[in-house]
Amino acid sequence: MKFLYNSGILLFILAVRLLSPFNSKVRLMVKGWKDWEEKLKERAGAGSKNIWVHCASLGEFEQGRPVIEEIRSREPQSRIILSFFSSSGYEIRKNYIGADYVCYLPPDTPGNAERFVKAANPSAVIFVKYEFWNNYISEVRRKSIPLYLISGIFRPGQHFFSWYGGFFRKMLSCFTYIFVQDQKSESLLRSAGINNVTVAGDTRFDRVVEIASSAKDIGALETFRGNARLVLAGSSWPPDEEIIARYIHEHPGAAKWVFAPHEIDESNIKRLEKLLGKSVVRFSEFTEDGEGAEVMIIDNMGMLSSAYRYAYIAVVGGGFGKGIHNVLEPACWGKPVLFGPNHGKFREAVELITEGGGKVFTDYNDFRESLNIWLSDIESYRKAARSAGEYVKTNSGATATILKQIL
């Protein structure tokens, strides 16, 4: 199996290099691999206490971020080396000030693993959620460096738990400690003979609480909202927007509306404006003269998590595509959340429904019914809002559990 694994890595490298002239993301990855060893040696800092944190992409980074920043706070003398597999993570966070060096992880060959670990010289290694690279893991274990997995989540269908999974289970046995999000994951690991595991929860809860505590006031949203109830559609996609737009057209004056679309290029903003066909104002062009508008479109990035505080109800997009976006950001403000049907792989969404702080809609009729209840029945609304906020509060604290073991 090890031979097949290493052969697969070589084929992956070949495929990436062949694709790089035709795909911008792949091209960025190949560029990021260039001269990686020299750069790492230069930035790692000889004789320093280094902690290496690896994330697959941006989502995993957000889960690892609370741990990184708490380590930085408690041990400012330590140097953080942050690696990414994907360009979508690296390119967005390559200037992240919480790390001393941010890089792409070179392909998982035995030689790269040996050279990377030697150059990074970590005193501890943290993998986030579900990155399992055999040669890196084996090299860290060979050098007796503490290795941790945080915010892990496991499912019965994964190869670790299959009849042919011995090779993959061996990787799990190399971890000094594994912190998982839920009891099911812990039970699966123990059934496979992995006992150095504990349920710490999901560090994303800590992250959204931290974001909320430092959120900035957005005066334009407060002015636009006025005394009306505001429904905010965050990270929306066309299927979400079409359903919401129909409700706006059929229920004039029911609320004020803010859209923060996932894509903010000019063509998409114009498409959304045409779809809404109402009194629409862009955030970038808003003045007090526009407070009478019924709909606002946020045409910038980075303010959504703070914007949720001004909502009465949140609608989180993506549920008619690959999957919903972050439902914890509005929930931490105590806002009831609506989202589309593709949410089954998102534990927090499933649990938010169970707790009463979230509802799913599969079509326009579902959306209309759920929204009407929360807009018309104040007791139902208050119960949902309270459940959403308490759900986040109850599940926060994973970072403290993890760092108690690591530090």
The percent of residues above 70 in pLDDT, for the chain, comes to 99
Which of 364 and 211 is assigned the larger pLDDT?
Answer: 364
Residue 95 shares a structural domain with residue 136: yes
CATH number of the domain encompassing residue 198: 3.40.50.11720
CATH code: domain of residue 302: 3.40.50.2000
Let me know whether 59 and 207 are in one domain: yes
Give Cβ neighbours of residue 177 (< 8 Å, ≥ 6 apart): 148, 149, 196, 197, 198, 405, 406
CA–CA dist 344, 20 (Å, integer): 34
Co-location of 255 and 165 in the same domain: no
Lowest mean pLDDT: which of 3-7, 99-103, 285-289, 399-403?
285-289
**Average confidence (pLDDT) over 67-74:** 94
CA distances from 170 to 122, 165, 224, 362 (A): 22, 9, 57, 41
Residue 286 lies in a domain: yes
Q: How confident is the model at residue 261 (pLDDT cuts 50, 70, 90)?
A: very high
Does the model's pTM come out above 0.75? yes
Residue 279 lies in a domain: yes
In-domain check, residue 20: no
Cα separation, 215 vs 277, in Å, equals 32
Nearest to 255 by CA among 283, 231, 287: 231
For residue 286, give the DSSP letter.
-
For residue 10, is it within any domain?
Answer: no
Q: Is residue 130 part of a domain?
A: yes
Mean pLDDT of 259-271: 95
First and final CA of the chain: distance in angstroms?
Answer: 35
Q: How far apart are CA 172 and CA 154, in angstroms?
A: 12
Q: What is the DSSP string of 219-245?
A: HHHHHHHTTS-EEEEEEE-HHHHHHHH
Q: How many domains does the chain have?
A: 2
Could you read off the pLDDT of 78-89 as tens digits, one per residue? 999 999 999 989
Region 333-341 average pLDDT: 97
Q: Residue 122 and residue 133: Cα distance in Å, rounded?
A: 17
Question: Are 188 and 237 members of one domain?
Answer: no
> Taking residues 27-48, what's their average pLDDT?
88
The arithmetic mean of pLDDT across residues 92-96, rounded, is 93
Confidence of residue 236 (pLDDT cuts 50, 70, 90): very high
Q: Are residues 222 and 176 in the same domain?
A: no
- What mean pLDDT comes out for the span 115-135? 94
* Cα 207 to Cα 301: distance, rounded to the nearest angstrom: 18
Looking at the structure, do residues 47 and 65 belong to the same domain, yes or no?
yes
Average pLDDT, the chain: 93
Per-residue pLDDT band at 277 (split at 50, 70, 90): confident
Reported as a pLDDT band with limits 50, 70 and 90, residue 166 is very high
Together in a domain, 180 and 138: yes
Within this chain, do residues 225 and 344 fall inside the same structural domain, yes or no? yes
244 and 120 housed in the same domain: no
Q: What integer is the mean pLDDT of 221-247?
A: 96
Q: Which of the four pLDDT bands, split at 50, 70 and 90, describes residue 238?
A: very high
Do residues 198 and 232 share a domain?
no
* 267 lies in the same domain as 357: yes
Q: What is the pLDDT of residue 313?
A: 98
Domain residues for 149? 33-211+397-406
The rounded distance, in Å, linking the Cα atoms of 153 and 395 is 15
Encoded tokens for 324: 């919903």
In this prediction, residue 213 has a pLDDT band, given cuts at 50, 70 and 90, of confident
- Decide: 124 and 406 in contact? Cβ < 8 Å: yes
| 114 inside domain | yes
Q: Percent of the chain at pLDDT above 90? A: 86
Contact yes or no for 129/63 (Cβ under 8 A): yes
For residue 245, being part of any structural domain is answered with: yes
Output the six-digit token pair for 362: 């599969």
Distance CA 147, CA 51 (A): 10
Distance, in Å, from the CA atom of 41 to the CA atom of 62, rounded to the nearest integer, reads 26
Task: Verify that 217 and 130 share a domain, yes or no.
Answer: no
Q: Find out whether 262 and 237 touch, Cβ atoms under 8 Å.
A: yes
Per-residue pLDDT tens over the stretch 370-394 = 999 999 999 999 999 999 999 999 9
Residue 126 lies in a domain: yes
User: Residue 290 carries which DSSP code?
Assistant: G
> Can you spell out the DSSP letters for 337-379?
EEE-S--TT-HHHHHHHHHTSEEE-SSHHHHHHHHHHHHH-HH
Residue 47 confidence (pLDDT): 67
- Residue 39 clears pLDDT 80, i.e. is over it: yes
